[in-house]
Amino acid sequence: MAFWRRKKSEAEVSLEQLQAGAESVPAAPSGPFSMTIEDVFAITGRGTVVTGRIATGTIRTGMPVTVTTSTRSIATAVSAIEQFRRTAEQASAGDNVGLLLDGVARHDVKRGDVVTGGQA
């Protein structure tokens, strides 16, 4: 066997298998917007902010959403989106965000409630 056609090492074979498997990584979760509330804050002069990780979908500022609690559903809209102290126009699945909700009081929502709506 010529030196330029040497046998591949075990590490090279493993690396090729790993790279081939990376091509079949599943896409981000799709579907309508959904986020489970992890925490709730009241900001004086602004309103109520709910935080959490977006499970599916995409949300944009101004989009209508529904907060589903254990006893009722509250229709509202997203006034602002914040990610790590920076405002954003949109956020998608996997992002940790804070959503400023119009017309929702702090005592109306709690941890574990679900925010749904928006687009897929």
The pLDDT value recorded for residue 22 is: 63
Boundaries of domain holding 106: 33-117
Are the beta carbons of 22 and 107 closer than 8 angstroms? no
| Overall number of domains in the chain | 1
- Please report the pLDDT score of residue 29 as a whole number: 65
Asked if pLDDT for residue 33 goes beyond 60, the answer is: yes
Q: pLDDT tens for residues 92-114?
A: 999 999 999 989 999 999 999 99
Residue 89 pLDDT: 95
* Interstrand relation of 47-56 and 73-83 (parallel, antiparallel or unpaired): unpaired
Strand 58-60, strand 90-92: pairing: antiparallel
| In a domain? residue 8 | no
Residue 105 belongs to some domain of the structure: yes
Q: What is the largest CA-CA distance in the chain?
A: 78
Q: Is residue 22 in some structural domain? A: no
Q: What CATH number does the domain containing 45 carry?
A: 2.40.30.10
Percentage of residues of the chain with pLDDT beyond 70: 85
Look up residue 68 and give its DSSP letter. Answer: E
Half-sphere exposure (CA, 13 Å, Cβ side) for 47? 17
In a domain, 11, yes or no: no
pLDDT digits (tens, 9 = 90+) for 49-100: 999 999 999 999 999 999 999 999 999 999 999 999 899 999 999 999 999 9
Q: For the whole model, what pTM was predicted?
A: 0.74
Task: Kindly state whether residue 18 falls inside one of the protein's structural domains.
Answer: no
- Residue 5 is assigned to a structural domain of this protein: no
- Name the H helices within 3-119: 10-22
Asked if residue 20 is part of any domain, the answer here is no
pLDDT at 120: 41
Grouping H, G, I as helix, E, B as strand and the rest as coil, residue 72 is coil
Query: What pairs with residue 100 in β-bridges?
Result: 49, 80
